[in-house]
Structure 1
Amino acid sequence: MRWLIPIVLYLLLELYAFQAVKTISKNQIIHIVYLLVSISILGYVIYTFSNYDRSVGPTKYTLRASGMLLLTLVPKLILVLFMFGEDIIRVCVAGYTYLTNTFFEGTATQYLPDRRKFISQIALGVAAIPFAGLLHGIFRGKYNFKVIHHVLHFNDLPSAFDGFRVTQISDIHSGSFDDPAKIEYAVDLINEQNTDLLLFTGDIVNTMAKEMDDWIDTFKRIKTPQYGKYSVLGNHDYGEYVTWESQEAKEANFQAIKDIHNKIDFNLLLNDNRYIEKEGERIAVIGVENWGHNFKKAGDLTKATKGVNKEDFKILLSHDPSHWEHEVKKHDDHFHLTLSGHTHGFQFGIEIPGFMRWSPVQYVYKQWAGMYSEMGRYLNVNRGFGFHAFPGRVGIWPEITVIELRKGEKPT
């Protein structure tokens, strides 16, 4: 029964969108092929999600099903908007014609005008744009890795760290990968940055530690910079989105996920900190467990900063950017730079540098992608390395961030 209402709504949407196809072509073969394809996709999606195993969690099959659903649903929604708009005009014309004939004894017998072919053609043309975008996002966009550079200036940065370069990656989600060659390429891209420090801000898997088994050797190839590799956990690393046979099984999976970090030579910070020393000066790298305004709150800034002086220069790793908004940016300890991920930029949006930035996720997260600053404190929200839920990226590409720290005022 829980599927009944969504299926009925989808079928109504499908029948409405089908009117555009019928208006453009009277060929019965085209009509039959269109309906067979639509019914087959709907059947596959229903079968996949009705057999979803909560003890396993998301799989490549559920990713494929969600991709197919969006690939067909979004264009059809656009078709329906056009067709519904035309129907409003048709009904108004019909009402006017009826009233005119009623009161002035006209001779018209058809009150409701026929659909206009050019409206359907425009609708299909517009709907083809998101269809092509989603198709590109599924087959190419999800591995369209981009290196994003930022230069940040701080008056209180220790002089020895002037020009210090940090690489950030986030949201690996290894359980979603389906192309080893592309991941190898991305690892090479990370290594090419040749920075001083490498930081990973959580979500190494979707749910299960075993998702990473086939990728350990690949990620172990990430070179350890002179000043090390550090990481934290994300919300998906706690195994809380599946049903476990026992608490012991959940805890064993959680321990296995934490062990992965050591296997790929990352120093996992669990509400802990480390000092990076250079030429007799130092900065603090602080890592908290996940803290999300709408997710798990395991992060503890007090515990994580134990032994760190208030005046020290601090880089904080915190997976969810809502932590910065609700706790970090006004904290008395003054965290100079916070690195987060989590949002993936929704894996869908429009980014035109210097002109436009938009994604549906901005209505949920105030800080959702890129660099932000308030009161001399910075937050970088990495767009993510991998993908989840939708097997693609449209307009929001997977990101490797390189941040250069500079001492002094930003040049004008």
Structure 2
Amino acid sequence: MSRTVFPFIFFALVAVGEWYGFQAVRTALQHAAPGTRRLFSVLYWVVTVVVWVMGFWALRNRHEHPSFKSYLGGVLLAMIAAKIVIIIPLLLEDVVRVARWAFQAGSRSTTPGTGPAISRSEFVSKLALVLGAIPFVSLIWGMAKGGTDYTVKRVTLRFPNLPASFDGFKVLQISDLHTGSFHSKEPLQRAVKIINEQNADLVFMTGDLVNNYATEVEEHIDTLAGIKSQNPIYSILGNHDYADYVNWMEEGGLAAKQANLARIKQNHAKIGWELLLDEARTLERNGEKISILGVQNWGARGFAQYGKLDKAHAAADPTVPFKILLSHDPSHWDGQVHEYPDIDLTLSGHTHGMQFGVNLPFLKWSPVQYAYKQWAGLYQRGKQYLYVNAGLGFIGYHGRVGFLPEITVLELRRA
């Protein structure tokens, strides 16, 4: 789509959405006093204009006062989501109104101009406003509370080939910290406290330590270094760690990008994590072993494919009966992992559950499911398992609704 055409389409859609929103308010208040109707009409347009202006200002100038501006962008997102929901029942009602009008106009029993006027339903307008309030309140709550409402997910997995010495072994996974989105140390300090309370045998971090820049994590190094594990803490890189979304031609060119990635790798070491770059490690207990494989980012949906699974797999001891793979993007599971049937468990992140959705025991839904086949929780194919962690941080929208920041504890049992 042409860049010159897109703004016109965008503003046309905004105008339609705002018109429908105003119609809903006006119809819902049609029996109120004239002064009340005028007051709410003025308030509607004043609030709408202020939110649009402040939201666009925040999105275009994110580098100064980023915390304040991220919340302004979130308020704009909440308003847009609310009005999209408001439009749906009103559009459906308009379809019915047009159909009724067409039927009446074509009916021989009705003299043109004498039929009853088909007005907008007050009930439908009130229903639309109530429905629109749900995403609005949810997204505001997601910024105020949900973004750092850390939850612990517990999963028990059984494997017939798990060495007996590892029966009951507790693996803890965190992912997608996106430390550049945090504007204070307190949330991650609280997360580390919860992580340590789990007394895990082994801790993994499956990518996206930063949003783009190595410096983003540096004020949190001391905090993250406080994570405790009875074994080495292994980490991998995610798509954001390569900073492919930065215009490096304006920031020093390819050399600056390479220096940024090298600094990110150094920061993993400063935290105390062992970064696996298409490598494998062996853990031993009572003479029995399991293998840990870690690959660089490999994505099947337009993301760079840096990872070399063949290299990591070749580095693993072929006599070890049980293998865990760390791969940031869950699309790797369908893309390549199925070609290595001796990989028993793959741990991924990346999707965040899109930071918005419905996450109930009997219903799991998020818009991200239309882009990713495996996007949150546990999946199984034959003897292989995949777990997709919803992530500990956030990016873009500075909050979470439904898919809260996750700390996963997987208990490995011998079947």
Same-fold status (TM-score > 0.5): yes
Match for residue 240 of structure 1? 244
* Structure 1 counterpart of 2:412, from 400, 405, 408: 405
Q: Separation in 2 of the partners of 1:105 and 1:150?
A: 66
Q: Separation in 2 of the partners of 1:167 and 1:220?
A: 15
Q: Which whole-Å deviations, capped at 9, do the CAs of 1:136-159 have from their partners, x for residues lacking one?
A: 111111112111111111121112
Match for 1:280: what amino acid? G
Map 1:176-325; keep pairs closer than 5 Å: 176-223=181-228, 225-244=229-248, 245=251, 246-294=253-301, 295-312=303-320, 313-325=322-334
* Structure 1 counterpart of 2:45, from 16, 35, 52: 35
TM-score w.r.t. length of structure 1: 0.91
On the 8 A contact 1:98/1:111 being kept in 2, the answer is no
Q: Separation in 1 of the partners of 2:244 and 2:20?
A: 40
Q: Separation in 2 of the partners of 1:306 and 1:93?
A: 69
Q: Separation in 1 of the partners of 2:291 and 2:365?
A: 34
Q: Which whole-Å deviations, capped at 9, do the CAs of 1:197-237 have from their partners, x for residues lacking one?
A: 111000000111111122112111112x1211010000000
RMSD: 2.1
Q: Identify if the C-alpha distance between structure 1 residues 249 and 165 changes in structure 2 by more than 3 Å, giving closer, same or farther.
A: same
Match for 1:335: what amino acid? I
Q: Does 1:14 align with 2:18?
A: yes
* Structure 2 counterpart of 1:337, from 337, 345, 364: 345
Match for residue 105 of structure 2? 98
Match for 1:201: what amino acid? T
Match for residue 122 of structure 1? 127
Residue 41 of structure 1, CA deviation: 1.4
Q: Separation in 1 of the partners of 2:279 and 2:181?
A: 29
TM-score w.r.t. length of structure 2: 0.91
On the 8 A contact 1:17/1:83 being kept in 2, the answer is no
Q: Separation in 1 of the partners of 2:112 and 2:176?
A: 68
* Structure 1 counterpart of 2:95, from 69, 75, 88: 88
Q: Between the two proteins, what is the percent identity of the paired residues?
A: 43
Match for residue 382 of structure 1? 389
Match for 1:317: what amino acid? L
Q: Identify if the C-alpha distance between structure 1 residues 196 and 52 changes in structure 2 by more than 3 Å, giving closer, same or farther.
A: closer
Q: Which whole-Å deviations, capped at 9, do the CAs of 1:348-378 have from their partners, x for residues lacking one?
A: 111221x221111111111111111112111
On the 8 A contact 1:372/1:379 being kept in 2, the answer is yes
Match for residue 73 of structure 1? 80
On the 8 A contact 1:291/1:320 being kept in 2, the answer is yes
Give the paired residue count: 400
Q: Identify if the C-alpha distance between structure 1 residues 121 and 383 changes in structure 2 by more than 3 Å, giving closer, same or farther.
A: same
On the 8 A contact 2:75/2:140 being kept in 1, the answer is no
* Structure 2 counterpart of 1:161, from 162, 166, 185: 166
On the 8 A contact 1:97/1:111 being kept in 2, the answer is no
Residue 263 of structure 1, CA deviation: 1.3
State the SS of the aligned residue for 2:339: coil
State the SS of the aligned residue for 1:210: helix
Q: Does 1:175 align with 2:180?
A: yes
Match for residue 401 of structure 2? 394
Residue 383 of structure 1, CA deviation: 0.6
Q: Identify if the C-alpha distance between structure 1 residues 50 and 11 changes in structure 2 by more than 3 Å, giving closer, same or farther.
A: farther
Please list every run of 5 or more consecutive structure 1 residues that lacks an aligned counterpart in the other structure: none
